[in-house]
Amino acid sequence: MSVSSPTMTIQPMEKHRTKLNFARILLEGRAFFALVAIIISFSLLSPNYFTVNNFLIMSSHVAIFGLLAIGMLMVILNGGIDLSVGSTLGLCGVFAGFLMQGVESETLGVIFYPPVWAVVLLTCALGAFIGTINGVLIACFRVPAFVATLGTLYVARGVALLMTNGLTYNKLAGATELGNTGFDWLGFNRLGGIPIGVIILLTVAIITGLVLSRSAFGRWLYASGGNARAADLSGVPTMKVQISVYIISGICAAIAGLVLSSQLTSAGPTAGTTYELTAIAAVVIGGAALTGGRGTVKGTLLGAFVIGYLSDGLVIIGVSAYWQTVFTGAVIVLAVLLNSLQYGGRNKRT
């Protein structure tokens, strides 16, 4: 498996498939073809769509969902689900905002202004902490993943609201005299013309892709997602793997929270509401099986771009936001339908 950026060529077929026919290519590369179809259709419908600048803007929107989706992919490969990522994103954004406002210590009577790198690290640590709670609940206490992460969804959202009292942190730019400037760099700056958010997404994607295809952990993940009992008996530390995927998902959500609040230069407690569903949709459109064991980073990235480019395209050609919801839903159902076509014929052995 190779990780490709969406602008590069994707090979929808794998070398070993000898009996390739047209339908098979279409089915296996469906997310890619869907993306091509979306780009062509909107380019024809609107002259503003097919411009470099528009693609960069749309891609920086995709970055948020893409980061969540990569974390979600790890969880789904393990056969689980993480509903808490939207709330984790919100809470992490608020937490970063809180740190940027300065932490007051009453005993010392001073206010600490942590530098931006420390804010980033602490926020990622918070995401990892939430993921650890999910993972321990699911792996050690056998709470169903759906319920455990539904619980953390509520708790994280509630904590975010409590921290801000329902308000939004606005001053995230920092000040030169406090030595904490640069937070907006994540969301606004560009490197070689590419938004930082997109670069972060691609970096995370490449690292995750390497981990999945070339590391022992990746193999453990595919094995325990495919058949946990068999993996366990083959010496795979299935419990550690299970906890790890939720931690990774939490960290991905924290990074997404940082990028989003940096893009907005504000951190609101309701940021990221229902984003977990978009992330799940991206993973599913990317061809991963919700039962675990099947899925790739490449597919998930394509899925995220399909959703992002579709909804932004609908905005550009002026379709009502209500219709966008309908279209997104239809795409998701179609994707799942194709998934069951692809995987349905297999493993019927008793």
Partner 1 sequence: MNTAININVEPEVVLAARNIAKSYGNTHALKGVNFDIYRGSVTTLFGENGAGKSTLMKILSGVISPTSGKIILDGQPINFASPSESRDLGISIIHQELSLAPNLSVRDNIFMGREIMTATGVNFSEEERQTRELMKELEEDIDPLTPVEDLRLGQQQIVEIARALSVNARILIMDEPTSALSASEVEVLFKIIRDLTSRGVSIVYISHHLEEALQITDHAVVLRDGTMTAYAERQDIDLEWIVRHMVGEGFDLGSPPAGYDFGKTSLSIKSLCIPDQSGNDFNVVDELSLDVREGEVVCLYGLMGSGRTELMECIAGRLKPSCGTIVLHEHDISKLTIAQRIDAGLVLVPEDRQRDGLVQTMSVGKNLSLASISAFTSKLLTSTKAEQSLIDRMIKDVTVKTASDTAEIGSLSGGNQQKVVIGKMLATNPKVILLDEPSRGIDIGAKAEVFKLLAERARAGLSVIYSTSEVGECLSIAHRIIVLSKGRIAGEFNSSASKEAIMAASGESVAH
Q: What is the contact surface with partner 1 in residues (CB under 8 A)?
A: 14, 16, 210, 214-216, 219-220, 222-223, 225-227, 229-237, 289, 292-294, 346-350
Between 19 and 274, CB nearer to partner 1? 19
End-to-end CA gap in the chain: 30
Between 55 and 217, CB nearer to partner 1? 217
Q: Cα separation of 87 and 195, whole Å?
A: 24
Between 16 and 142, CB nearer to partner 1? 16
Between 113 and 220, CB nearer to partner 1? 220
The three-class DSSP label of residue 108 is coil
DSSP track, 316-338 = HTT--HHHHHHHHHHHHHHHHHH
**Which candidate, 89, 99, 96, places its Cα nearest to that of 153?**
89
**CA 236 → CA 222, 233, 242, 338, distances in Å?**
11, 7, 11, 31
**Phi first, then psi: what are they for 314, rounded to 5°?**
-65, -35
CB of 345 to partner 1, least distance (A): 10
Between 225 and 313, CB nearer to partner 1? 225
Q: Is the dihedral of CA 326, 7, 16, 228 positive or negative?
A: negative
Tokens 């319920």 — which residue?
Answer: 147
CB of 163 to partner 1, least distance (A): 37
CB of 347 to partner 1, least distance (A): 5
CB-count exposure of residue 259 (10 Å: 0-12, 13-18, 19+): buried
The three-class DSSP label of residue 195 is strand
Between 93 and 209, CB nearer to partner 1? 209
Q: Calculate the CA 150 to chain-centre distance.
A: 17
AA identity, residue 301: L
Q: Which residues pair with 267 in a beta bridge?
A: 169
CB of 211 to partner 1, least distance (A): 9
CB of 46 to partner 1, least distance (A): 41
Between 234 and 325, CB nearer to partner 1? 234
* Pair 282, 300: CB distance under 8 Å: yes
Helix (H) / strand (E) containing 95: helix 85-100
* Pair 2, 298: CB distance under 8 Å: yes
CB of 218 to partner 1, least distance (A): 8
CB of 107 to partner 1, least distance (A): 44
Between 171 and 214, CB nearer to partner 1? 214
CB of 18 to partner 1, least distance (A): 9
**CA 131 → CA 236, 242, 250, distances in Å?**
21, 11, 5
